[in-house]
Amino acid sequence: MPDLNGVLETAIYVDDLARARRFYGQQLGLAAMYEDERMSAYDAGRGGVLLVFRRGASREGAQLAGGRIPGHDGEGPLHLAFAIAAEALQAWEQHIASQGIMIESRVHWLRGAHSIYFRDPDQHLVELATPGLWPNNEARTGN
């Protein structure tokens, strides 16, 4: 079987795209790589991309110069996790607090990783996790 090289994109769907852009772009500081009336694409680090779609705007699909993207959409609170360095956890906690975002939960995992959980404005569960959460995410420092 051919190898997979990782998860390239993660998509969430929001009711208010401008509000989501403020949250992910300004409050969390993700760099926007693309924006239009339908969606925003953010650099999620290490080649990963967070796609934030306006709910319902992609149900019919999208015709591009190079081909057609089939329709998709989602409802309800979803979960996404960003990998962070262990030494960045405290700085992230301080940053999140400074943005008025409430940390909903903290977890210390058996493999030694730590996670913090909070909600975006559409109630999606956002996790920041240090290395070692999963066996394929060995504990290491830095990027």
Domains of the chain: 1-75 (3.10.180.10), 76-143 (3.10.180.10)
Q: Which CB contacts under 8 angstroms, 24+ apart, belong to 134-138?
A: 135/111, 137/83, 137/113
- Residue 49's nearest CA partner among 82, 14, 16 is 82
pTM of the model: 0.93
> Which three-class secondary structure string do you get for 118-134?
EECCCCCEEEEECCCCC
Full pLDDT tens readout for the chain, 143 residues = 999 999 999 999 999 999 999 999 999 999 999 999 999 999 999 999 999 999 999 999 999 999 999 999 999 999 999 999 999 999 999 999 999 999 999 999 999 999 999 999 999 999 999 999 999 987 654 44
Residue type, 43: D
**In this structure, what DSSP letter does residue 94 have?**
H
Q: Which CB contacts under 8 angstroms, 24+ apart, belong to 94-98?
A: 95/29
